[in-house]
Amino acid sequence: MSKFWSPFVKELVPYVPGEQPKLTNLVKLNTNENPYGPSPKALAAMQAELTENLRLYPDPNGERLKRAVADYYHVRPDQVFVGNGSDEVLAHIFHGLFQHGKPLLFPDVTYSFYPVYCGLYGIAYEPIALDDKFQIEMADYARPNGGIIFPNPNAPTGCLLPLEAIERLLQKNPDSVVVVDEAYIDFGGESAVALVDRYPNLLVTQTLSKSRSLAGLRVGLAVGHPDLIEALERIKNSFNSFPLDRIAIAGAAAAFEDRAYFEQTCQQVIASREALTVAMQELGFEVLPSAANFIFARHPQRDAAALAAGLREHGVIVRHFKQGRIEQFLRISIGAPEQNQALIDALKHIG
Ligand code: PMP
């Protein structure tokens, strides 16, 4: 800590990302990447951009990508905002869309970037406890708030809320912004984008890092009422502007256009998730029902931190959170079948 740090910087508690190990022979099941790689059409679109157009500045509005997203969701391009990963989209939302003076509400077990952004932007917040089955109970959010945000499915539990529960929340909460973070929605959930035309306070965020396997490209987006999208554009353009680069726009648009590859690879991940769940249960693990590309599991007799360390010694990395109620869980990303088998084999060896 330097004497030049302001009290504000001293108080910041930054987000701790999952490890990105240097060793390539590890079975990496710790940051929910997609084992199948991006659409070949997205790769071809990026290659064409690289060889033909890199001397030109990108379109500051990313119109090509907005159109592809709008076509996919049957909305208009002015209902779409795009950014460098959904983390950046979320940063803009936290920076400008929540009311101050009343607390932002989010689940007490959720994506750990939310309290970090609250610290950065000086937003008061109130974590709302999950129920005893680790589910979000929407009735608990019916209280005065400066905004509400939750992932659906939730992270790191993987538990999914039905669209009806989200719609009931929106009906009871017309006066502040409700954000549904759908980073993992494509692995079995129904998108709340279907509700944006009816609820002008709803904003749905998504990422291309998971179901479209482009985590390294850094593309995320939000869909909502044009007024909310315009607010986000104003916030974005009040910085030195962070437009997407040409490769990101071309690759992300092509990934949205290639529905067949997207659907096929999502189905493969879902099938692997179900198979891995059964295999883990056979080893005595309790696995929460997941609609994401990861599972959240605990063993009644085995310590999660020791399991994570033992797995690592066998070349398998999973995520363990040293955090109250979830300390006995492991979050395990769904890999290719042979990676999932390596995990099961390693668990058997650890004994
Ligand atoms: N939301 C949730 C719930 C996540 O788990 C993640 C991934 N860590 C993100 C948003 C951010 O994803 P990205 O920045 O790669 O789009």
Residues of the chain with CATH 3.40.640.10: 40-258
Ligand 1 binding pocket mutation candidate from 207, 213, 333 (most atoms within 8 A of CB)? 207
Cα 282 from chain centroid (whole Å): 29
CA proximity to 78, closest of 256, 240, 249, 228: 228
For the chain, where are the alpha helices, taking DSSP H only? 7-11, 40-52, 63-73, 85-96, 113-121, 163-172, 226-238, 246-257, 259-282, 304-313, 337-350
Residues of the chain with CATH 3.90.1150.10: 7-37+260-350
Terminus-to-terminus CA distance in the chain, angstroms? 43
* Pair 130, 161: CB distance under 8 Å: no
CA distances from 77 to 30, 164, 190, 281 (A): 34, 26, 21, 45
The residue whose CA is least distant from atom 8 of ligand 1 is: 31
pLDDT at 165: 97
The pLDDT mean for the chain works out to 95
Residues having CB within 6 Å of any atom of ligand 1: 85-87, 111, 151, 155, 181, 183, 207, 209, 215, 220
Mean per-residue pLDDT, 315-334: 96
What pTM was estimated for this model as a whole? 0.95
207 Cα nearest atom in ligand 1: 16
CA distances from 14 to 47, 95, 119, 121, 189 (A): 35, 16, 9, 12, 30
pLDDT at 160: 98
pLDDT at 64: 98
CA distances from 229 to 76, 78, 104, 248, 256 (A): 11, 7, 20, 20, 20
Tell me which of 3.30.479.30, 3.10.400.10, 3.40.50.1820, 3.40.640.10 is the CATH number of domain 40-258.
3.40.640.10
ipTM associated with this complex: 0.99
151 Cα nearest atom in ligand 1: 3
Mean per-residue pLDDT, 183-188: 98
DSSP conformational letter for 60: T
* Pair 112, 131: CB distance under 8 Å: no
With residue 154 as reference, give the H or E element that holds it: none
pLDDT at 135: 96
pLDDT at 23: 65
Mean per-residue pLDDT, 68-89: 98
Per-residue pLDDT tens digits for 274-284: 999 999 999 99
DSSP conformational letter for 57: P
Which class is domain 7-37+260-350? alpha beta
pLDDT at 242: 80
Integer Cα distance of 101 and 103 in angstroms: 7
Per-residue pLDDT tens digits for 99-146: 999 999 999 999 999 999 999 999 999 999 999 999 999 999 999 999
Per-residue pLDDT tens digits for 2-54: 887 888 888 888 888 888 887 678 999 999 999 999 999 999 999 999 999 99
pLDDT at 311: 97
